[in-house]
Every structure is written in C-alpha cells, then in structure tokens.
Amino acid sequence: MKKTSCFSINRKKHQVLLIMKIIFTIIILSINLGFASNGFSQNDRLSVNMKQKSVREVFATLEKSSGYRFFYNDAFTYLDKLVNVDAEKESLNQILDGIFKQTDFEYKILENKLVVVSLKEDLLQAKYKVSGNVTDQDGQGMFGITVAIKGTQKAVLTDVKGNYSVDLTDKNSTLVFSYIGFLRQEHKLTGESTVNIMMQPLIKSLDEVIVVGYGTRKKSDVTGAITSISSQSLKDVPAANLSQALQGQGAGIDIQKSNGNSKPGQAPDILIRGTRSIKAGNSPLVVVDGIPFDGNINDFNVDDIASVEVLKDASSTAIYGSRGANGVILVTTKRGSLGIRKPIITYSGYTGFNKNLGEFPMMNGEQFALLKKWAYYIGKPGTYTGINDPKIMTDAFYPDEQQGLATGHGTDWQKLIYKTGITTNHQIGVSGGTDATQYAISGGYYNETGIYYGQSFKRYSLKFSFDQQLTKFLKVGISSLNTFAITNGEDSQNSASGSYKVEQALKANPLSSPYDTTGALRNSFVSGITTRVWNPLADLIDGAVIENRKRLGSFTTFYLEANIFNGLKYKLNAGAQLQSDVYGNFYASKTTINLGSLSSANNQTRTNSDYTLENILTYDKIIANKHKINFTGLFSFEDNVKASNSFGYSGLLSDNSQYFNPSLGSNLNGTGSRAEYALLSYMARVNYSYNDKYLLTLAMRTDASSRLADGNQYHTFPSVAVAWNINKESFLSNSNVFSYLKLRTSYGSVGNTSISPYQTLGLLSSLVYNYGTTTTTGLYPTGAPNPTLGWEYTSTANAGLDFGLFKNRISGSIELYHAYTNNMILPQSLPATSGIPNSILTNTGKSENKGIEIHISTVNIQSTEKNGITWTSDFNFFINRGQITQLNPTLATTYNGKPADIGNKWFVGQPIGSIYDYQKIGIWQATSADTLAAKGLGLTTTGTGSVIGQIRVADRNKNGKIDAGDMYIVGSPQPKWEGGTTQRVAYMNFDFTVVAAARIGGVITSSLFDGGTNALQGIYNNVNIDYWTPNNPTNEWPKPNSAQTSAVYGSTLTYFDASFLKIRSLSLGYNMPQSLMKSTGMKSMRIYATVSDPFILFSPYRDKYHGIDPETSGTLNVDSPATWSMIFGVNITL
C-alpha cells in the first residue's frame, strides 16, 4: 500500500466517505492510515528473509504477505534505517518484536488487521505545548500536514481546519512542517506557544489529480499528452482573460494577438499544435466544468478558475470526437471545499495603467513635405525643374500646409489621440461547506480603458456553485457563471474608408493643424491636397462616435451523480448557455467615418443559446489488487441556435438619438439570420492499468453533425494509448536519479466540423433594385450546394516521456507528435464562369503537422529554511511543422512540380496560410543597364507609369516577362520554434516572477507598409521610410509618385521577419507575515505589482523597421498599437 495515499485523501473524492470515518482515529494516533484486507490471520506463520532493507520495505513486504496494513507517520526517520530480517515461519508478532527491539517505537495490532506503529508512551511525556494553524496560500487551513519535531521521531498531523497541537520536551525545538508538493518549512521556537505557518507550493506533484475528458485521473495514470495549468500559475500573472493568462504557460500552445489587436476586451487567438484546417476552424474546443462552452473567452474571470488542462493528443481529445482536432481546453471552475469550516472570504483586486508600447513610425511635417515634393516632381514628368521648383509649392501645398511648413508647426497626430488607459479589477468570494453541502459564490468587476479615446471593456461577473449530497448514493450540484460585459470603441474596420480610426490619424497631414487660428477644433477635413481624411480629433468629441456592445452571458452546468453500486456510477451532466449581444454604433456626420456625409447608426442583436445533455456511466474495479479497470460510457447531445438581426440607417434627425430609434433616421436597412446545429455523440472508453505500471486507454466515439451533408453525418473516432511507469519497475525503484519516469504513446482520430450550418445547401443572396418608384428585393444564386460534404478528421500519433530527476528537482516532459488531417474542409474559390461567386466548402486534400514539445521544470535552489531563497524555473520549447500534403487529385496546376491551387493559395508541401507573391529583388535604378533590362521585360520606362524607381521583381521563370508564373512562396506565418520561460524566486516573504516568450521565424504581413499609410503618393502622411529618389538610389523602398495611389507590387513591402523575444511580465509579490496577520484577523494577505509586456528584447520588425510589435495572428493591422501595462494588486483571505 502506498503510504502517501492518505496524505492526499482530501483530493480524492472517491475515498472521501471512507476517510471521514477514520479521521478521528488518525488524529488520536498521529499516524498515517490506509485500509485493505485479505485472508491472513494473526497466528499464521510467515517466512521473510531480507538483508539490508529499509524498515519501510520490510513493512511493504509484510503487508503483501500478511495482508495486514501498517500505519505509521511517514516522517519517522527510523523508517529509512536498514535492517536484516531472517524469519522462518514466525508469527507477525515475533517478526515485529525483532524489528522494534531497542528503538523508540512500539506497535499495536488492532482487530481489523491494522498494525499501528507509534512512539513509545514514555517519549510522549511532554512539558510544553505549541499549537497553531497551517494554511495554504489562500489562507485555507490545510489538512494532514506533518508537523515534526526536528531531531526526534515525534510528529503530529493537522486536522481538517489546519490546526495542530504538539507537545514538546524542549522549548527550543525546531518544528518542521512538510507536505508533499509543498515547500518544507522549519521554524525555530523561541518560547512562543503559537506558530502559524503558510505553506508554499513546491513543484507539481505526480499525485496531483488532473482533469481529463469526462473524469479525473492521477497524473501518474495519464496516458495522453496533457498540459496542466494550476490556478497558482494563472495567479502569477494577473490577466484580463483566459487566453492571455495561458500565454507562455505550456508547450504547443500558441497564443497571439488577433491581427495585432490590443484593444480592451479583445481576446487573443489560441492555436494548439499549429494550423491544420483551412476552413473548419483552428480554435480549440473550450469545455467548462464538462460542458462545451460556446461563448466569448472574455466572459471568464480568471479568478474563478481553479485549473486549466490543455488536451493535445488524439487519445486525450478523441473523447471529444467531433471538435477535438484543434485541442481541447478544459476549464474547471472553483467550487466550495469539503470539510467542516467556517466560510472563507477572499478578496483580490488590482489597479494600474496601460500605455502604448510606441508610436507608428510616421513622417513629421518636414519629412512629409519633402516626400510630397518628390511625389509631384516624379508624378508629373516634365512639369517641374526640380523638387525646389516654386511651382510645386503652389501646386501641391495648400496655404495651410505652406504655413505649417514655414512656421515649422507640424502636428504629431499620434500624440493627440493616445492616452493612458486605466485598469481596475475587484473580486470578492465566499466559500465553505460541510460534509454534505459545499458552496462558493464570487462576484467580480473588471474595467479597462484603452489607449485610444472611447475604448473600454467593463465586465461584471457573478459565479456561484452549490453541491449537495442528497442521499448516500445521490449527489447533485450546480454551477453558474454569469457575465455582463460592455465593450466600447471596438473600432472595426470602417467599410467606407477601409481603415481603422487610428489609421485615419496616421494618414492625416502632419503639416496641418487640428485647430483653426482661434484655437477651436476644425471639424472638417484635414486640410491638404485631398479631402479624404477628416480631422481625427473630431471623433473624440463627446457623442460623435459611439460603439457600444453589451453582452449578457449565462453559463450554467448541473450534475446529478448516482453511485449505483460498488464502482458503478451514473452522472447526468447538463449545461445551458444563453448569450445576448447587443451592439449599437452611431457616427455623427462630421467624423472620420462619415467624412461630413449623413450621420449613420447601426443596431445589432445576437442571441446564442446552447444546451448540452450528457449521460455518463462509469465503472471502477480493482481486481486482485493489480488490475485497475475504469470504464466510461457516454451519450451526449448538443443543440446550438444562433440568431441575429441588424438594422442600419442614416441621416438621423438628432445626433442625440444615437442608435436607439430608426424612425428618427431614414434609409433603413435590415438583415437577419438564424442558424442551428446539433451534434449527437456516443462514446466508450476503457482505462486499464496493471500494477500501476502498465496503462492502457481505449476510446471510441461516434458523432453525428447536422452541419454535414445527408449520408455523411456520422463518423467514428477511435483511439488507443499505452503508458509505462518505468519508475515502478524494480530496476529503477532504488534509483537515486530517476524519481519518476513514464513513457506514453497514443494514436487516435479526431474530427472537425467547426463550419457554419447550412453550408451543404447552397444559397441565394438578396439585393435591391427599383423600377421607378417601385422598389424590389431580388434573389440570386451565390453559393452552390455541396451534397457530399463530410467530416474532416485528424489522426495523431503521439509519443511522450515524463520524467522526474533527483527527487523531482528536475521534472518535465517531451512530446513528439505527427498529425494527419484528412478530408480537409476547404473553401474552394470557383472560377467566375461557374456563375457561383462564393467559394464552396469541399472535402479536399490532406495536411499534416508534426512537432516536438519540451517542458522542463527545475527547482534550482530549494530553501530548507523558512526565509531562505527558493528559485524555480519552467521552460517550454516547441516546434510545429505543418504542410498540405495532398490537394484535389484532378488539380491541373502545380508549383515547384507539386500540385498547387494557385487561386486559393494552397500548395502541396507548404504550410497552410503560405504567402504567395512576387519576389522583390530591389528597385529599378535610373541606369542604362536597368532601363534596358526593364524594356526587355516589356516594362514601361517613361512617363508616370515608368518602372524606374519602382519595385523590381524577379523574373523567376526566366521567360522574359513578369507574369503570374514569377510568383513564389515568400514564406508563411509558421514560426521555426517557440518557447517560453517562467522564473520564480522567493526570498523571505517576497516572490518575484518573470515570464518571457520567444517566437522565432515565420513571416508577418504588416499592412502599415502597404497602401493607406505607405502610398508614397504625397497625399496621405506616410511611414517614414528611406524611399528611392534619383539622388538616393536605394534598393529598399520605391519612389514617391503623385500619379499612383500605391506602389506597384507594394504588397512585397509588407513581409517581415515575425521573430520576437519579449518579456511578457514581471511580477513582484509580498506575503504579509503570519504574525502580522493574526492581529488583523486576516488569514493571509499578499500585495504585488506586475508589469505586462514591458519590453520587446528582440524583434527585427521593431528594431530595424520601427514597427511596434510583431505579435499577431493573421495580418498585422494598422490599428490601436500594442500596449504595456503596470498594475498593483492585493489578495486577501479572511
């Protein structure tokens, strides 16, 4: 029997009832208990022959051969003493007498085959009494902590409230507090009678129970690739939302800002083990308390989360069949704890500020004026004698600009639009419970304002959970997460101008002033040669721009658990999710959005309702002590309905009416939609383990999705996994090096249908027309039906090695995987001649992802003193390589000799999302050689369209002309490798945490360097680049040209090395000493300061091209820039 198992009893629910019965005995005896039985009786004879074995091992042998159970305090050093036992048909008493001779110990054999080992009575004679309370970091009393007296064999355990009381013979003794998974603490007594201790978690324990799909397992019993993230890790770096909190926490989890978007309330994109699908979605499935969550990840208050597990391989995710292909994130929320306790009240709060991490590198007035002169000189060949021709001044520059240039009063628009944002977070929680009832309630408030005016995200959350034991075999529980979130200033890309509000400000003429001569705001176009940029400050006028989203979300799960008979359990798990999302916007006439045209308003309402019903049957059986079997059977059904409608109107009678009443405007337009899908699933899983050494998991799931074509709705996803706990083998059991070693391998198949409903049916779109005053709405075919659309599924082979070295001072895991995606659901663009303008979804082709993930945790310095230095590190490193391996076999086109669908930019042998463009090899120079070469390619070398000074692209196919065949794969967003590290140092009551992340390789597309902000036309302000002029024959950037709205082949200027190394956070915390706490009545209090995203240590995009932050999933938009923030917080437990 494992001696440590009792120390973790409060974590193992299925032993709870049993344990409760014997708690009393444990406390009295101050020893460690377990329980089992077989047929041996006290008078039977045993033969034991052991040489130089520890007392522990002797006990273990005796337990096996006698069937008696031994109970003793694990902290007794005597247990490690080596002894010889040479018994030939002796009774148990005889053998034990031999062992305990001349020790401080005695034993008692109890009736129910228990052997209790304890200190001799006379040693327990005490002179002093010391008592106190042991708590965890949240201030919750910890049960089962060993409190030993250093240098003696004496020790006691804490009770369920964490209280202990120990009798001493020497008042200057040292108390040693220990518990597996926690830092051992010593306390030298100086005569005090009360010692309260807060335990600090050490590294993750292998006995930790982690959540797997439809159940929990001990970490050592897990067969799949799972990254487990505790609430402690989540707490290290306070984050606005879950995905931000997971950033850099695990290997294989790639979290990037969506399109570089840093606005408040914007959740980053999560990618687990790369991109495998083109259309069916790459976002992982989020499962909260067992129920798939179909909502906004921003709705979580991170404080409500107890733990997060990320399932990565097919064996772990196959039980989520249909949607597991992109990984599964299991979120377990906090619930009330078992035990007799008074309520625990917690408060956590922080406040701080955020600022932009930099400014976009735009030109100042002087630089822009020079660009403009060149643009005119080059764009109107023969018109001007040079850039200093006074005619340029009068032709190209408005009086206002001329004045700005003369006085040197340029405008740095960015300075005017950015501000400092403020973040505030408060969370109060109460939890408690009895044996039968547990509850937890928490309320939170989060408010963040952005760095651009009008941007904010506010969230009110209320969570409660309630668990009740109804009868001996029936338990029910409910948990509900409720959120009301308000997002302001989303600033989605403006359809009229195609740009964001910040981009408008970047394009604004730096020679113009936002104010007139009287100092009043000019509510008009920014003066300049063009009338296309409205004064960006006009958007900041109160009530001019309203963008308001109110989201009300409720996610409630309910379970009923029945212990039918020994080991057989039934669980009904039901979840309901309701969300309503109301979005309204209003733009006054005089804004960058409407440019003086009619004011406009839009109102959208979206509702999302989802329910899931799961019937789960589990059966646990241990046969002959060695064969552990766990069976799980599942039937589940999910139904999801999303409905929305939207109406827009313009020409409002009063700006004050905002978006609230369309009858106060005209030109009303409306749309609506309703989409429903259903998913029906059956699953069976068997876990088998032999002697805790050999583990096997078999799972099979069948899913039916309404979103697929008739006849292709059902698919079965099998999986198998085996694992070997090598450290349990005899050849390693005495190893000083390996404290843990496990080899795992799995293979399985997972599906993906994250597509919108009704894709298989074809579509008619509507459009409007009129015959005179008769108005009408027409319908025309835009989508073709695909009557054969079926499942996209991914088969993954995974091999993993988990290890713990030197008593787990170094631990970690290595994963290797290879995932094959079949029947990829691809959106295929059809030729216009097909008559179908929309792309259609087809099952075409295959892709694969392979990679390696390494995670290492080390305890670099472990203090044995309470106030010593402890330094721990986590490292993760991962590589993923994805590629398309097969496309439609009838495909006639190729790239590099391999099939390629050029229209859709899919290339066999290349990652999904590859960038396909011309190859910029420089700038056409004004030399006779270049002119000749350009003419040879049929390029224009005179007039406004002359290529001289323009981007020179390579004639890669050497056919003497620049044609579509010259395009090539520039790269892909896929990085070479990614990694992260978390370093934690604790000293005295201080702790310091640094999280760093690196993403090396890959290509980003930055729209800052294309079109709008890099037009080089001399109309809009431009990125400050070293452009080509006849005097500056650079090969980097092309010439300005007033006759051109953007550079030809300008897209080739937008590709940059995506690499970065950044500090995600720096955090310094201080735990108030227990002595101070007592007087305040608080159990614990921690104060901290955290800086998020403070430095980008390395980034070619930032260092060389003065971009702000290369971190993005998808194109890096010209949007509100990246931010850094600093917060100050406090956590209190009462």
Partner 1 sequence: MKKICSISAILFTCLLIISGCTDKLKENPQSSLTPGFFATPQGFQSGLDAAYAGMRNLWGSQNFFTLTCLGTDEFSTGRDGNNDISKYNSNYIPTNKYSTGVWEPCYTFINTCNGLIDNASKITSIDTVTRNKMVAEARFLRANYYFVLVQFWGDVTLNKHFQSLPTTSATRDPQAEVYKFIIQDLNYAIAKLPASPFTSGLLPGKANAAAARHLLSKVYLTRAGSSAKDPNDYQNAYDIATALIANKATLGLNLLQDFGKINAEGNESNTEVLWTIQHTTNLTYNGTNDLCYLFVPVYQNMPGMQRDILNQRSYDRAMPTRWLTDTVFRDKTNDTRYSKIFQTVWYCNNAASIPKWPNPVPAGVNPALAGKPKFVLGDTACYMPGVDVTDAKIASTRYSLIPPRKYTISMYPAMNKYFDTKRSDMMVTSNRPVIVWTLDETYLIAAEAAFMTGKITEAVSNINIIRERAAYPTGNAAAMDIQPSDLSLDFILDERSRELCGQMIRDWDLARTGQMQSRIVKHNSDARLNFVVPKHLLRPIPQSQIDAVTTGTPYPQNPGWF
Among 32, 456, 591, 786, binds partner 1 (CB under 8 A): 786
Cβ closer to partner 1: 36 or 474? 474
Least distance CB 645 / partner 1 (angstroms): 9
Residues 533-542 as b/e (b if ≥16 CB within 10 A, e otherwise) read: bbbbbbbbbe
Using the rule CB under 8 A, give the single segment among 91-99, 323-331, 726-734, 938-946 that binds partner 1: 938-946
Told to check if 933 binds partner 1 by CB under 8 A, we report no
Residue 954 near partner 1 by CB under 8 A: no
Taking CA atoms, 765 is separated from 212, 644, 646, 762, 829, in Å, by: 44, 17, 16, 10, 17
* Residue 942 tokens, joined: 């005179």
In the window 669-728, what residues touch partner 1 (CB under 8 A)?
669, 672-678, 680, 704-707, 713
Pick between residue 110 and residue 470 the one whose CB is nearest to partner 1: 470
| Six token digits for residue 237 | 């770096």
**How many residues are recorded in the chain?**
1134
Both tokens assigned to 223: 């067969």
Rounded to a whole number of angstroms, the minimum distance from the CB of residue 634 to partner 1 is 11
Contact 574, 561 (CB under 8 A): no
* DSSP letters for 507-529: HS-TTS-SB-TTS-B--SBPSSS
The least distance separating partner 1 from the CB of residue 589, rounded to whole angstroms, comes to 8
Per-residue DSSP letter, 219: G
Q: Which of residues 462-501 bind partner 1 (CB under 8 A)?
A: 473-474
Which residue, 346 or 1042, is less far from partner 1 as judged by CB? 1042
How many chain residues interact with partner 1 (CB under 8 A)?
107
- The CB-of-335 to partner 1 minimum distance in angstroms stands at 24
Token reading at 793: 């599924």
Binds partner 1 by CB under 8 A, chosen from 637, 738, 875, 987: 637
**What is the C-alpha to C-alpha distance for residues 158 and 130, in angstroms, rounded to an integer?**
13
Residue 286's alpha-carbon distances to 124, 295, 330, 456, 845, in angstroms, are 54, 9, 6, 25, 27
Where in 881-910 is the site for partner 1 (CB under 8 A)? 888, 890-893, 901-904
Q: Which is nearer to partner 1, 763 or 1126 (CB)?
A: 763
Residue among 499 and 872 whose Cβ is closer to partner 1: 499
SS3 49: strand
572 vs 696, which CB is nearer to partner 1? 572
Q: Scan residues 542-581 and list those touching partner 1 (CB under 8 A).
A: 562, 564-565, 570, 572
User: Cα separations (Å) of 996 from 308, 800, 942, 1001, 1092?
Assistant: 20, 25, 53, 17, 10
Q: Hey, is 1123 helix, strand or coil?
A: strand
Per CB under 8 A, contacts with partner 1 among 824-863 are 828-837, 840, 842
**Is the Cβ of residue 30 or residue 497 nearer to partner 1 in the bound state?**
497
For residues 825 and 841, is the Cβ–Cβ distance under 8 A? yes
Residue window 1019-1048: x/- pattern of binding to partner 1, with contact defined by CB under 8 A: -----------------------xxxx--x
The CB-of-377 to partner 1 minimum distance in angstroms stands at: 15
- Retrieve residue 933's tokens: 């070469």
Report in angstroms how near the CB of residue 18 gets to partner 1 at its nearest.
20
Beta strands in 55-127 (DSSP E): 69-71, 82-90, 105-110, 114-119
Candidates 195-203, 619-627, 779-787, 981-989; binding stretch for partner 1 (CB under 8 A): 779-787
181/651 with CB nearer partner 1: 651
Residues 6+ apart with CB under 8 A from 399: none
Q: Which is nearer to partner 1, 705 or 1112 (CB)?
A: 705
- Phi, psi dihedrals of residue 782, rounded to the nearest 5°: -125, -20
Kindly tell me which of 761 and 1097 has the beta carbon lying closer to partner 1: 761
Among positions 191, 519, 711, 943, the unique one binding partner 1 when judged by CB under 8 A: 943
Let me know: does 287 contact 330? Beta carbons within 8 Å. yes
Tell me whether residue 517 or residue 734 sits nearer to partner 1 (CB atom): 517
Least distance between partner 1 and beta carbon 668 (Å): 6
Residue linked to tokens 């631990």? 811
Residue type, 244: Q
Buried b (16+ CB within 10 A) or exposed e, 47-70: ebebeebbbbbbbbbbbeebebbb
Choosing from 130, 939, 948, 1118, the residue that interacts with partner 1 (CB under 8 A) is 939
How is residue 564 annotated by DSSP?
E
Residue placing its CB nearer to partner 1 in the complex, 758 or 968: 758
Report the relative pairing of strands 128-135 and 197-198 from DSSP bridges: parallel
Indicate the pairing of strand 197-198 with strand 69-71: unpaired
Residue 1028, SS3?
Answer: coil
- 761 near partner 1 (CB under 8 A): yes
Report the side by side order of strands in the sheet with 328-333.
Answer: 226-230, 305-311, 328-333, 285-288, 291-292
* Closest distance to partner 1 from the beta carbon of 834 (Å): 5
Give the integer Cα–Cα distance in Å for 461 and 299.
8
Residues 1029, 1046: Cα–Cα separation, whole Å: 16
**Which residue in the set 84, 945, 976, 1036 belongs to the binding site for partner 1 (CB under 8 A)?**
945
Closest distance of CB 919 from partner 1, Å: 16
Q: How far is CA 975 from CA 168, 274, 1111, in A?
A: 61, 10, 11
| 733 φψ region: left (φ > 0), alpha (ψ -120 to 50), beta (else) | alpha
* Residue number, 43 or 770, with CB nearest to partner 1: 770
**Which one, 1005 or 1084, has the nearer CB to partner 1?**
1005
Of residues 956 through 975, those in contact with partner 1 by CB under 8 A are 959, 961-965
For partner 1, the binding residue among 112, 517, 777, 1079 (CB under 8 A) is 777
- Exactly one of 100, 128, 635, 968 binds partner 1 (CB under 8 A); which one? 635
Nearer to partner 1, 844 or 872 (CB): 844
Q: Among 938, 976, 1103, 1128, indicate the residue that binds partner 1 (CB under 8 A).
A: 938
Q: Which of 757, 845, 979, 980 binds partner 1 (CB under 8 A)?
A: 757
Shortest Cβ 650–partner 1 spacing (Å):
7
Least spacing, CB of residue 644 vs partner 1, in Å: 9
Which of positions 206-265 make contact with partner 1 (CB under 8 A)? none
Least distance CB 1101 / partner 1 (angstroms): 27
Helix-helix angle 365-379:399-407, to 10 degrees: 130
**Which residues are within 8 A (CB) of 731 and not within 5 positions of it... i.e. 6 or more apart?**
none
Stretch that binds partner 1, among 160-168, 353-361, 733-741, 755-763 (CB under 8 A): 755-763
Binding mask 584-623 for partner 1 (x = CB under 8 A): ----------xxxxx--------------x-x--------
